[in-house]
Amino acid sequence: MADEFVQRSLDEIRFWSRIMKEHSLFLKLGFTCEDTQLIQEADRFYSIFEDIENRAFAYTPDVDPRVIYDFNNVVHTAVCHIWAFKRKVLGLIIQCKILGSNFPLLVDHVSREAAYFMNRLKQLNTGTLDPLPDAVINENVFFLKIMADHAKFINHLLDPSERKLVEQARDFSHDFDQLLFQAIDLDSMRPQSQTQPLLDQFVDQNRVSVRQLRDFKKTARDLIEACRIKSIIPPLLADHVFREASHFLEILDAFDAALSHSK
Protein backbone atom coordinates (compact mmCIF):
# COMPACT_ATOMS: atom_id res chain seq x y z
CA MET A 1 0.00 0.00 0.00
CA ALA A 2 2.88 2.35 0.81
CA ASP A 3 4.38 1.83 -2.65
CA GLU A 4 1.00 2.50 -4.29
CA PHE A 5 0.57 5.69 -2.25
CA VAL A 6 4.01 6.92 -3.30
CA GLN A 7 3.52 6.10 -6.97
CA ARG A 8 0.03 7.57 -7.20
CA SER A 9 1.14 10.73 -5.41
CA LEU A 10 4.14 11.23 -7.67
CA ASP A 11 2.11 10.51 -10.81
CA GLU A 12 -0.49 13.10 -9.86
CA ILE A 13 2.07 15.74 -8.90
CA ARG A 14 4.23 15.19 -11.98
CA PHE A 15 1.25 15.63 -14.26
CA TRP A 16 -0.61 18.43 -12.50
CA SER A 17 2.38 20.51 -11.41
CA ARG A 18 3.31 20.94 -15.07
CA ILE A 19 -0.29 21.89 -15.84
CA MET A 20 -0.26 24.48 -13.02
CA LYS A 21 3.08 25.84 -14.23
CA GLU A 22 1.71 26.28 -17.74
CA HIS A 23 -1.48 27.88 -16.43
CA SER A 24 0.73 30.55 -14.86
CA LEU A 25 2.31 31.26 -18.22
CA PHE A 26 -1.00 31.31 -20.12
CA LEU A 27 -2.53 33.73 -17.61
CA LYS A 28 0.55 35.95 -17.83
CA LEU A 29 0.32 36.06 -21.62
CA GLY A 30 -3.30 37.23 -21.30
CA PHE A 31 -2.48 40.21 -19.08
CA THR A 32 -1.68 43.66 -20.47
CA CYS A 33 1.69 45.32 -19.86
CA GLU A 34 -0.01 47.53 -17.25
CA ASP A 35 -0.86 44.52 -15.04
CA THR A 36 2.65 44.41 -13.58
CA GLN A 37 1.65 42.99 -10.18
CA LEU A 38 -0.41 40.17 -11.76
CA ILE A 39 2.45 39.39 -14.14
CA GLN A 40 4.87 39.16 -11.21
CA GLU A 41 2.47 36.87 -9.32
CA ALA A 42 2.11 34.64 -12.38
CA ASP A 43 5.90 34.47 -12.75
CA ARG A 44 6.23 33.52 -9.08
CA PHE A 45 3.72 30.69 -9.45
CA TYR A 46 5.53 29.49 -12.57
CA SER A 47 8.76 29.20 -10.56
CA ILE A 48 7.00 27.51 -7.62
CA PHE A 49 5.44 24.80 -9.76
CA GLU A 50 8.53 24.32 -11.87
CA ASP A 51 10.39 23.59 -8.64
CA ILE A 52 7.63 21.21 -7.49
CA GLU A 53 7.72 19.42 -10.83
CA ASN A 54 11.51 19.01 -10.64
CA ARG A 55 11.30 17.71 -7.06
CA ALA A 56 8.59 15.22 -8.01
CA PHE A 57 10.74 13.77 -10.80
CA ALA A 58 13.75 13.60 -8.49
CA TYR A 59 12.00 11.20 -6.09
CA THR A 60 12.33 7.46 -6.69
CA PRO A 61 9.54 4.91 -6.06
CA ASP A 62 11.33 3.57 -2.97
CA VAL A 63 11.24 6.93 -1.16
CA ASP A 64 9.87 6.89 2.38
CA PRO A 65 6.07 7.36 2.21
CA ARG A 66 6.30 9.85 5.09
CA VAL A 67 8.46 12.08 2.86
CA ILE A 68 5.81 11.98 0.14
CA TYR A 69 3.07 12.63 2.70
CA ASP A 70 4.87 15.84 3.71
CA PHE A 71 5.56 16.71 0.07
CA ASN A 72 1.86 16.33 -0.74
CA ASN A 73 1.06 18.83 2.00
CA VAL A 74 3.60 21.32 0.63
CA VAL A 75 2.16 20.95 -2.86
CA HIS A 76 -1.39 21.26 -1.52
CA THR A 77 -0.54 24.62 0.02
CA ALA A 78 0.94 25.87 -3.26
CA VAL A 79 -2.12 24.73 -5.20
CA CYS A 80 -4.43 26.46 -2.69
CA HIS A 81 -2.54 29.70 -3.34
CA ILE A 82 -2.67 29.45 -7.15
CA TRP A 83 -6.38 28.59 -6.94
CA ALA A 84 -6.95 31.78 -4.94
CA PHE A 85 -4.91 33.76 -7.48
CA LYS A 86 -6.98 32.39 -10.36
CA ARG A 87 -10.25 33.23 -8.61
CA LYS A 88 -8.95 36.74 -7.91
CA VAL A 89 -8.11 37.19 -11.60
CA LEU A 90 -11.55 35.90 -12.58
CA GLY A 91 -13.19 38.47 -10.32
CA LEU A 92 -11.09 41.29 -11.77
CA ILE A 93 -12.04 40.31 -15.33
CA ILE A 94 -15.75 39.91 -14.63
CA GLN A 95 -15.86 43.25 -12.80
CA CYS A 96 -14.07 44.90 -15.77
CA LYS A 97 -11.17 45.98 -13.54
CA ILE A 98 -8.59 44.51 -15.93
CA LEU A 99 -8.58 43.97 -19.67
CA GLY A 100 -6.55 41.47 -21.67
CA SER A 101 -7.17 38.29 -23.61
CA ASN A 102 -8.02 35.81 -20.83
CA PHE A 103 -11.58 34.54 -21.32
CA PRO A 104 -13.50 34.40 -18.00
CA LEU A 105 -14.41 30.78 -18.77
CA LEU A 106 -10.74 29.96 -19.30
CA VAL A 107 -9.80 31.42 -15.91
CA ASP A 108 -12.66 29.55 -14.26
CA HIS A 109 -11.53 26.42 -16.13
CA VAL A 110 -7.97 26.58 -14.80
CA SER A 111 -9.24 27.28 -11.28
CA ARG A 112 -11.43 24.16 -11.45
CA GLU A 113 -8.36 22.14 -12.36
CA ALA A 114 -6.51 23.56 -9.37
CA ALA A 115 -9.45 22.64 -7.10
CA TYR A 116 -9.41 19.11 -8.54
CA PHE A 117 -5.65 18.80 -7.85
CA MET A 118 -6.13 20.10 -4.28
CA ASN A 119 -8.84 17.51 -3.64
CA ARG A 120 -6.76 14.68 -5.08
CA LEU A 121 -3.81 15.51 -2.82
CA LYS A 122 -6.11 15.61 0.20
CA GLN A 123 -7.66 12.26 -0.76
CA LEU A 124 -4.23 10.66 -1.13
CA ASN A 125 -2.98 11.87 2.24
CA THR A 126 -6.16 10.91 4.10
CA GLY A 127 -6.60 7.60 2.28
CA THR A 128 -10.13 8.52 1.22
CA LEU A 129 -10.05 7.94 -2.54
CA ASP A 130 -13.52 7.42 -4.00
CA PRO A 131 -14.74 3.82 -4.40
CA LEU A 132 -14.88 2.74 -8.04
CA PRO A 133 -18.59 3.47 -8.78
CA ASP A 134 -18.28 6.99 -7.34
CA ALA A 135 -14.92 7.63 -8.99
CA VAL A 136 -16.32 6.70 -12.42
CA ILE A 137 -19.06 9.31 -12.19
CA ASN A 138 -17.06 12.01 -10.40
CA GLU A 139 -14.10 11.87 -12.76
CA ASN A 140 -16.33 11.93 -15.83
CA VAL A 141 -18.42 14.88 -14.61
CA PHE A 142 -15.20 16.81 -14.03
CA PHE A 143 -13.26 15.86 -17.16
CA LEU A 144 -16.16 15.98 -19.61
CA LYS A 145 -16.65 19.65 -18.77
CA ILE A 146 -12.91 20.21 -19.16
CA MET A 147 -13.03 18.60 -22.62
CA ALA A 148 -16.12 20.62 -23.61
CA ASP A 149 -14.33 23.79 -22.54
CA HIS A 150 -11.27 22.88 -24.59
CA ALA A 151 -13.38 22.50 -27.72
CA LYS A 152 -14.89 25.95 -27.13
CA PHE A 153 -11.47 27.54 -26.61
CA ILE A 154 -10.08 25.94 -29.78
CA ASN A 155 -13.14 27.12 -31.71
CA HIS A 156 -12.62 30.73 -30.60
CA LEU A 157 -8.83 30.80 -31.00
CA LEU A 158 -8.70 29.38 -34.51
CA ASP A 159 -8.73 31.94 -37.30
CA PRO A 160 -12.32 32.22 -38.63
CA SER A 161 -11.02 31.37 -42.09
CA GLU A 162 -10.13 27.85 -40.86
CA ARG A 163 -13.75 26.94 -41.46
CA LYS A 164 -13.41 23.16 -41.43
CA LEU A 165 -11.46 23.05 -38.17
CA VAL A 166 -13.78 25.62 -36.59
CA GLU A 167 -16.75 23.44 -37.54
CA GLN A 168 -15.07 20.34 -36.09
CA ALA A 169 -14.30 22.16 -32.83
CA ARG A 170 -17.90 23.37 -32.64
CA ASP A 171 -19.15 19.80 -33.16
CA PHE A 172 -16.89 18.51 -30.39
CA SER A 173 -18.17 21.27 -28.09
CA HIS A 174 -21.76 20.16 -28.71
CA ASP A 175 -20.94 16.45 -28.35
CA PHE A 176 -19.15 16.91 -25.03
CA ASP A 177 -21.87 19.16 -23.69
CA GLN A 178 -24.29 16.30 -24.34
CA LEU A 179 -21.97 13.75 -22.71
CA LEU A 180 -21.63 16.05 -19.71
CA PHE A 181 -25.42 16.37 -19.38
CA GLN A 182 -25.68 12.56 -19.46
CA ALA A 183 -23.01 12.30 -16.74
CA ILE A 184 -24.85 14.86 -14.58
CA ASP A 185 -28.07 12.85 -15.02
CA LEU A 186 -26.26 9.66 -13.97
CA ASP A 187 -24.84 11.56 -11.00
CA SER A 188 -28.27 12.72 -9.84
CA MET A 189 -29.59 9.13 -10.05
CA ARG A 190 -26.97 7.79 -7.63
CA PRO A 191 -26.74 5.22 -6.12
CA GLN A 192 -29.41 3.49 -8.21
CA SER A 193 -27.56 4.38 -11.43
CA GLN A 194 -24.33 2.71 -10.34
CA THR A 195 -24.99 -0.71 -11.83
CA GLN A 196 -22.31 -2.60 -13.70
CA PRO A 197 -24.08 -2.47 -17.11
CA LEU A 198 -24.75 1.27 -16.90
CA LEU A 199 -21.21 2.13 -15.78
CA ASP A 200 -19.75 -0.15 -18.48
CA GLN A 201 -21.75 1.60 -21.19
CA PHE A 202 -20.98 5.03 -19.71
CA VAL A 203 -17.23 4.44 -19.77
CA ASP A 204 -17.23 2.77 -23.21
CA GLN A 205 -19.19 5.62 -24.78
CA ASN A 206 -16.98 8.29 -23.30
CA ARG A 207 -13.77 6.48 -24.26
CA VAL A 208 -14.78 6.55 -27.92
CA SER A 209 -15.54 10.28 -27.83
CA VAL A 210 -12.44 11.23 -25.83
CA ARG A 211 -10.23 9.22 -28.19
CA GLN A 212 -11.68 11.13 -31.15
CA LEU A 213 -11.16 14.48 -29.42
CA ARG A 214 -7.61 13.54 -28.42
CA ASP A 215 -6.80 12.65 -32.05
CA PHE A 216 -8.29 15.97 -33.21
CA LYS A 217 -6.17 17.83 -30.68
CA LYS A 218 -3.05 15.94 -31.77
CA THR A 219 -3.69 16.85 -35.39
CA ALA A 220 -4.31 20.49 -34.48
CA ARG A 221 -1.16 20.57 -32.34
CA ASP A 222 0.98 19.13 -35.12
CA LEU A 223 -0.47 21.57 -37.68
CA ILE A 224 0.09 24.54 -35.35
CA GLU A 225 3.68 23.48 -34.62
CA ALA A 226 4.32 23.18 -38.37
CA CYS A 227 2.68 26.60 -38.98
CA ARG A 228 0.24 24.96 -41.40
CA ILE A 229 -2.95 26.54 -40.02
CA LYS A 230 -3.94 30.04 -38.98
CA SER A 231 -4.74 30.59 -35.30
CA ILE A 232 -3.69 32.48 -32.18
CA ILE A 233 -3.14 29.21 -30.30
CA PRO A 234 0.42 28.93 -28.93
CA PRO A 235 2.00 25.53 -29.68
CA LEU A 236 2.40 24.94 -25.93
CA LEU A 237 -1.33 25.47 -25.36
CA ALA A 238 -2.14 23.04 -28.17
CA ASP A 239 0.11 20.43 -26.55
CA HIS A 240 -1.32 21.26 -23.10
CA VAL A 241 -4.91 20.41 -24.06
CA PHE A 242 -3.72 17.30 -25.95
CA ARG A 243 -1.97 16.04 -22.79
CA GLU A 244 -5.10 16.60 -20.70
CA ALA A 245 -7.21 14.58 -23.16
CA SER A 246 -4.61 11.81 -23.10
CA HIS A 247 -4.68 11.86 -19.28
CA PHE A 248 -8.48 11.55 -19.25
CA LEU A 249 -8.28 8.66 -21.70
CA GLU A 250 -5.80 6.89 -19.40
CA ILE A 251 -8.27 7.29 -16.53
CA LEU A 252 -11.10 5.87 -18.65
CA ASP A 253 -8.91 2.93 -19.71
CA ALA A 254 -8.16 2.23 -16.04
CA PHE A 255 -11.88 2.37 -15.23
CA ASP A 256 -12.62 -0.05 -18.07
CA ALA A 257 -10.04 -2.51 -16.76
CA ALA A 258 -11.28 -2.18 -13.16
CA LEU A 259 -14.94 -2.65 -14.16
CA SER A 260 -14.04 -5.72 -16.24
CA HIS A 261 -12.09 -7.16 -13.29
CA SER A 262 -15.03 -6.64 -10.92
CA LYS A 263 -17.46 -8.69 -13.07
**How high does pLDDT run on average in the chain?**
97
Q: Tell me the three state secondary structure of residue 231.
A: strand
Q: Is the pLDDT of residue 72 over 90?
A: yes
Cα(193)–Cα(188) distance, rounded to whole angstroms? 9
Q: Is the pLDDT of residue 1 over 60?
A: no
Q: What is the mean pLDDT of residues 149-162?
A: 98
Residue 20: the pLDDT is: 98
Q: What amino acid is encoded at 134 in this protein?
A: D
pTM over 0.95: yes
The CATH fold of domain 1-129: Ferritin (1.20.1260)
Intra-chain end-to-end CA distance of the chain, in Å = 23
CA distances (Å), origin 170, targets 20, 65, 73, 109, 131: 26, 45, 40, 18, 34
The domain limits of the chain are 1-129, 130-262
Convert the pLDDT of each residue in 200-219 to its tens digit.
999 999 999 999 999 999 99
Percent of the chain with pLDDT over 70: 99
Choices 3.40.190.10, 3.40.50.720, 1.10.8.50, 1.20.1260.120: CATH for 130-262: 1.20.1260.120
Q: What is the mean pLDDT of residues 97-122?
A: 98
Q: What amino acid is encoded at 187 in this protein?
A: D
Convert the pLDDT of each residue in 169-188 to its tens digit.
999 999 999 999 999 999 99
Taking residue 245's Cβ as centre, other Cβ atoms within 10 Å add up to: 22
Q: How confident is the model at residue 117 (pLDDT cuts 50, 70, 90)?
A: very high
Domains 1-129 and 130-262 share a fold: yes
Convert the pLDDT of each residue in 22-70 to its tens digit.
999 999 999 999 999 999 999 999 999 999 999 999 999 999 999 999 9
Residue 24: the pLDDT is: 98
Residue 27: the pLDDT is: 98
